[in-house]
């Protein structure tokens, strides 16, 4: 939870919130001036929901009886071209009132100033900068599945390099599965170090505690390639952290996409592009460019 507001604060880029692919294509092919003209010409045209739109709507619905969540727009648009974005926010009846428009510069530097607990963007460079500054962040990947506006908010997380550090994943990458399994079994009683999304899951757990468990509108899942016996350290780590996880799927290397669809995830966070790609065709997916899987080969 943001210490500044006592709420869960989520920063989101305009391209993650709305479908801006057409206008972004203008920017990529014709430049900033043509992009600005395009946005002003289409100022009254309402933007369609983007990949993270359903997630944002469900997050804001948690404010039904108390102010638990705030969503802030962090955009590379200028205030002038951003008018279309705010018009679309009003049209879709989203209670988003705070924003930073940076006229092409990276908006990640305002993540800390706003006290954001999570930053979602379509720009990988902005996401990496936010992660380096200590904020949970993910690159929203274009996909065909948009979360439903109704029902529980369901968020799924990978384990290593997302909820946990990448210490164990480094052993796997450098020495193989047998060494990884042996190391995790030997350290089963030692809690794993926290990863970039630990604090975000803690904030969700804090909100969950405000509800009757039978009526809680938030459901979380750990979806990991780990399997027994490497599962024990994960379970004991979450217990040591006093963090609630509603479902835990230990897949032993199986593909994750079908399981995420079965869970009904509104978003899934993973550090590995090989998992994010297939998942993005079924659920909203955020790539977390953190840890050994995202380091360049020497």
Residues known to be catalytic: 158
> Closest Cα to residue 17, out of 80, 67, 74?
74
Report H helices in the chain.
14-17, 21-30, 32-41, 53-61, 83-91, 110-113, 124-132, 167-175, 177-186, 198-208, 231-241, 257-263, 273-279
Which letter does DSSP use for residue 18 in this model?
A: B
Q: Are strands 285-287 and 136-140 parallel, antiparallel or unpaired?
A: antiparallel
Cα–Cα distance, 285 to 269 (Å, whole number): 6
75, β-bridge pairs: 101
CA distance 1 to 140: 22
Bond into 229 cis (ω within 30): yes
Between CA 123 and CA 112 the distance in angstroms is 18
Short-list 51, 92, 95, CA closest to 69:
95
The span from the CA of 66 to the CA of 111, in Å, is 23
- In terms of Cβ atoms closer than 10 Å to its own Cβ (0-12, 13-18, 19+), residue 239 is exposed
Of 24, 76, 114, 63, which Cα lies nearest the Cα of 218? 63
Dihedral angle sign, alpha carbons of residues 161, 164, 170, 176 = negative
Report residue 249: phi and psi, to 5°.
Answer: -115, 115
Assigned token pair, 30? 């014709």
């Amino acid at each position: 939870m943001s210490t500044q507001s006592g709420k869960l604060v989520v920063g989101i880029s305009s391209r993650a919130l709305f479908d801006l692919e057409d206008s972004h294509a203008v920017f990529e092919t014709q430049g900033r001036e043509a992009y600005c003209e395009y946005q002003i010409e289409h100022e009254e045209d309402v933007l369609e929901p983007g990949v993270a739109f359903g997630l944002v709507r469900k997050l804001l619905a948690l404010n039904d009886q108390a102010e638990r969540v705030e969503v802030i727009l962090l955009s590379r648009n200028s205030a002038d071209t951003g008018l279309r974005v705010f018009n679309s926010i009003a049209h879709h009846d989203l209670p988003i009132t705070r924003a930073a428009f940076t006229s092409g510069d990276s908006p990640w530097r305002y993540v800390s100033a706003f006290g954001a607990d999570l930053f979602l963007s379509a720009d990988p460079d902005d996401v990496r900068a936010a992660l380096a500054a200590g904020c949970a962040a993910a690159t929203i990947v274009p996909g065909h599945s948009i979360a439903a506006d109704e029902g529980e908010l369901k968020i799924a997380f990978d384990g290593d390099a997302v909820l946990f550090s990448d210490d164990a994943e480094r052993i796997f990458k450098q020495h193989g599965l047998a060494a990884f399994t042996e190391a995790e079994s030997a350290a089963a009683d030692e809690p794993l170090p926290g990863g970039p999304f630990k604090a975000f899951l803690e904030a969700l757990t804090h909100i969950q505690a405000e509800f009757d468990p039978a009526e809680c509108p938030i459901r979380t899942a750990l979806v990991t390639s780990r399997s027994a016996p490497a599962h024990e350290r994960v379970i004991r780590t979450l217990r040591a952290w006093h963090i609630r996880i509603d479902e835990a799927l230990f897949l032993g290397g199986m593909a994750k996409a079908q399981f995420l669809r079965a869970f009904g995830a509104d978003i899934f966070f993973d550090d590995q592009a090989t998992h994010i790609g297939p998942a993005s065709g079924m659920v909203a997916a955020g790539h977390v460019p953190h840890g050994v899987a995202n380091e360049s080969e020497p």
